[in-house]
Amino acid sequence: MPDAAHCVTGALLAARARAHPDRVYAVFDDDTEWTYGQAHDDARATAAALYRLGVRQGDTVLCWLPNGLDALRVWFGVNLLGAVHVPVNTAYRGSLLGHVLTNSGARVLVAHALLVDRLQHTGGARLQEVVVLGGGPDDPWPDALPGAPRVHGPTALRGRPEDFVPPERPVAPWDTMAVIYTSGTTGPSKGVLVSYVHHYSTVTALLDDDITEHDRYLLNLPLCHGGGTEVAYCMLVYGGSVVVTEGFRTSEFWEVIRRHEVTMCTLLGAMVDFLLGPPPRPGDTDHPLRAACVIPLTRQALDFGRRFGVDVYTGFNMSETSAPLVSALNPQRTGSCGRPRPGVQCRVVDEHGIDVPDGHAGELVLRADRPWSLFHGYHGMPEATAAAWRHGWFHTGDAVLREPGGDYFFVDRIKDAIRRRGENVSSAEVESELLSHPAVALAAAVAVPSDLAEDEILAALVLRPGVRFDPEQFLAHLRPRMAHFMVPRYLRVLSELPVTETGKVRKETLRAQGVTPDTWDRVAAGIEVTRDRIR
């Protein structure tokens, strides 16, 4: 069990600032550099301001900001107070956003100016204080918000480091560091309770012996996801640095790698395909990048490693776990997730919890030797927590198979989750919005293969009698209500949905049928749905 000095965010940051105050911890899109000393001072100043707003140890604080210095200082400031950081996806809106606000129980929200208007459509938010950051002088001030919270400008989050008030009780390794919301597949999104030990166990599981204080990691995944927070936290643990970008941009990737001397990165799904798109050039290996964590491990991932001279590795992880499966460097078996890391027990079981033979698909279940190194519940959802932890094992809901040699291979999602552009999408949440259109009587959302990697979303619809259905008008209805990555690419109108004897939709049938000749494709129609720009 790591002690607080080695895993608690505030203690780590303070130790780095004492030892190396002038060492760069983060570089941002505008080339601003943030040293460990500056990061510690800014975090303490932010903590002092949050304390004035009433934040105390154990409170949850919502952070709805794009990647950048503000997102990091709010996170670190929250943890310095012994409070719980709750990052919110900047793509969220509508009922999904409302659920997160309500489930978190937070009284304080720090949000970007260009996002705040979305709060008008969230219903049951219980916020008391909203701090608005970013935006420009001409951006409109938000109107009255649901629940009438007090709305503050950026000055409300400007404190002085010397005014920082430490928590009454020292922050312990097993305290909750964050609530990370992960898409549910049969109901509302669940808030994963992540302890400091949990995060520490995750980042030290991957290349533990190979990361040093001289490494610089590209942080191009959202800080509302485990993939983003783990990168920032990893460099705190090892004393290295991060290059923080708003997101993945193919055209700028190698320029950023070279300009900022990035040595490590994480690539998900289609990112590899995009980077392999341009034809090979003589200078493809002229860069400082030495290692890339690539998920999933496709043929293109191996091609990426060979073409660009980068060591590639992979693994299996989810917000609830701490990298239970990890590969060696440069594995050669596509689809492999690696093998169980030390301290983790993995089994492959059938629907009754009985082990299946090697070579047969079953659900991955696991547990860990180190206390608190897996999630310790879903926030405010005891029934969901009990359902996930059965018979002393965490049930991942993912189907894998184990080969006799010991490697694990991902097969499919047992649940009806969809993985699109690096995001886990809840089919239940997509269907809720599909049914909000007055022309739709029944709806089902399923994953179909993408041209690039991961999944595309197909919506199967049964219309109400006598209505006229216009696909483009339907998308215009969905777009304000859904994150961009949730908007279906394919629309298929059916007279009825295939169902079981008990009335449940046979999604396996819809998936097997896939994109049929009568399916409408918004990409073929020239309609792209992209992330909202908030800078």
Q: Tens of pLDDT along 351-389?
A: 899 999 999 989 999 999 999 999 999 999 999 999 999
Cβ(142)–Cβ(132) below 8 Å: yes
Cβ(531)–Cβ(91) below 8 Å: yes
- State the Cα angle at 516 between 512 and 522, rounded to 5°: 115
The mean pLDDT value for 392-418 works out to 86
- 231-234: long-range pairs with CB below 8 Å, 24+: 231/266, 232/26, 232/72, 232/75, 233/9, 233/199, 233/200, 233/203, 234/203
Q: Sketch the domain layout of the chain as residue ranges.
A: 4-198, 218-365+405-413, 417-521
Cα(76)–Cα(10) distance, integer angstroms: 7
pLDDT digits 0-9 by tens, 314-335: 999 999 999 999 998 999 888 8
Read off the tokens for 23: 């060492």
- Better-scored residue on pLDDT, 138 or 419: 419
Is residue 219 predicted with pLDDT exceeding 80?
Answer: yes
The b/e string for 494-528 (b: 16+ C-beta within 10 A; e otherwise) is: beebbeeeeeebebeebbebeeeeebbebeeeeee
Cβ(209)–Cβ(120) below 8 Å: no
Does the domain made of 4-198 have the CATH classification 3.30.565.10? no
pLDDT digits 0-9 by tens, 422-439: 777 878 778 888 988 989
Q: What is the pLDDT of residue 507?
A: 86
- State the Cα angle at 442 between 434 and 489, rounded to 5°: 40
- The DSSP symbol for 495 reads S
Question: What is the pairing mode between strands 336-340 and 84-87?
Answer: unpaired
CATH code that applies to domain 218-365+405-413: 3.40.50.12780
Q: What is the pLDDT of residue 501?
A: 46
Q: Is the dihedral of CA 482, 483, 484, 487 positive or negative?
A: negative
Read off the tokens for 191: 């808030």
- Better-scored residue on pLDDT, 408 or 146: 408
Q: What is the pLDDT of residue 527?
A: 87
Least reliable range by pLDDT among 191-200, 227-236, 414-423, 432-441:
414-423
Q: What percent of the chain has pLDDT over 90?
A: 68
Cα(295)–Cα(304) distance, integer angstroms: 12
Is residue 205 predicted with pLDDT exceeding 70?
Answer: yes
Is residue 417 predicted with pLDDT exceeding 70?
Answer: no
DSSP 3-state of 485: helix
Q: What is the pLDDT of residue 139?
A: 65
pLDDT digits 0-9 by tens, 52-84: 999 999 999 999 999 999 999 999 999 999 999
Name 323's Cβ contacts closer than 8 Å, sequence gap at least 6: 201, 202, 205, 206, 315, 316, 317, 341
Cα(179)–Cα(157) distance, integer angstroms: 21
Cβ(124)–Cβ(149) below 8 Å: no
- Better-scored residue on pLDDT, 119 or 418: 119
Is residue 187 predicted with pLDDT exceeding 70?
Answer: no
- Using only C-alpha atoms, the chain has a radius of gyration, in whole angstroms, of 23
Topology of 417-521 in CATH? GMP Synthetase; Chain A, domain 3 (3.30.300)
Q: What is the pLDDT of residue 185?
A: 43
Cα(441)–Cα(445) distance, integer angstroms: 14
Is residue 210 predicted with pLDDT exceeding 60?
Answer: yes
- Better-scored residue on pLDDT, 335 or 45: 45
Most confident of 112-121, 135-144, 180-189, 321-330: 321-330
Name 365's Cβ contacts closer than 8 Å, sequence gap at least 6: 346, 347, 348, 349, 353, 393, 394, 395, 396
Cα(199)–Cα(423) distance, integer angstroms: 20
pLDDT digits 0-9 by tens, 245-282: 988 899 999 999 999 999 999 998 778 888 998 899 99
* Cβ-based burial of 281 (10 A; exposed 0-12, middle 13-18, buried ≥19): exposed
pLDDT digits 0-9 by tens, 84-94: 999 999 988 88
Cis check for the bond before 296: say yes or no (omega within 30 of 0): yes
Cβ(505)–Cβ(445) below 8 Å: no
DSSP 3-state of 60: strand
pTM value is 0.84
Q: What is the pLDDT of residue 138?
A: 64
Cα(24)–Cα(442) distance, integer angstroms: 54
The b/e string for 57-79 (b: 16+ C-beta within 10 A; e otherwise) is: eebbbbbbbbbbbbbbbbbbbbb
pLDDT digits 0-9 by tens, 281-291: 999 999 999 99
Would you give the end-to-end CA distance of the chain in angstroms?
Answer: 41
Q: What is the dihedral of CA 35, 39, 40, 41, to 10 degrees?
A: 100
The b/e string for 391-411 (b: 16+ C-beta within 10 A; e otherwise) is: eebbbbbbbbbbeeeebbbbb
Q: What is the pLDDT of residue 500?
A: 56
Is residue 21 predicted with pLDDT exceeding 50?
Answer: yes
Name 489's Cβ contacts closer than 8 Å, sequence gap at least 6: 456, 457, 458, 521, 522, 523
Cα(150)–Cα(80) distance, integer angstroms: 24
E strand or H helix at 445, and its extent? Answer: strand 440-449
Query: DSSP states of 98-167 as a string?
Result: HHHHHHHT-SEEEEETTTGGGGGG------SEEEEE---TTSPPP-PPTT--EEE-GGGG---GGG----
- Better-scored residue on pLDDT, 432 or 492: 492
Mean pLDDT (the chain, rounded):
90
Q: Which residue has the tokens 């209505």?
A: 467
Write out the E strands in 468-513. 490-494
Fold equal for 4-198 and 218-365+405-413: yes
Q: What is the pLDDT of residue 494?
A: 94
Least reliable range by pLDDT among 23-27, 237-241, 495-499:
495-499
Q: What is the pLDDT of residue 202?
A: 95
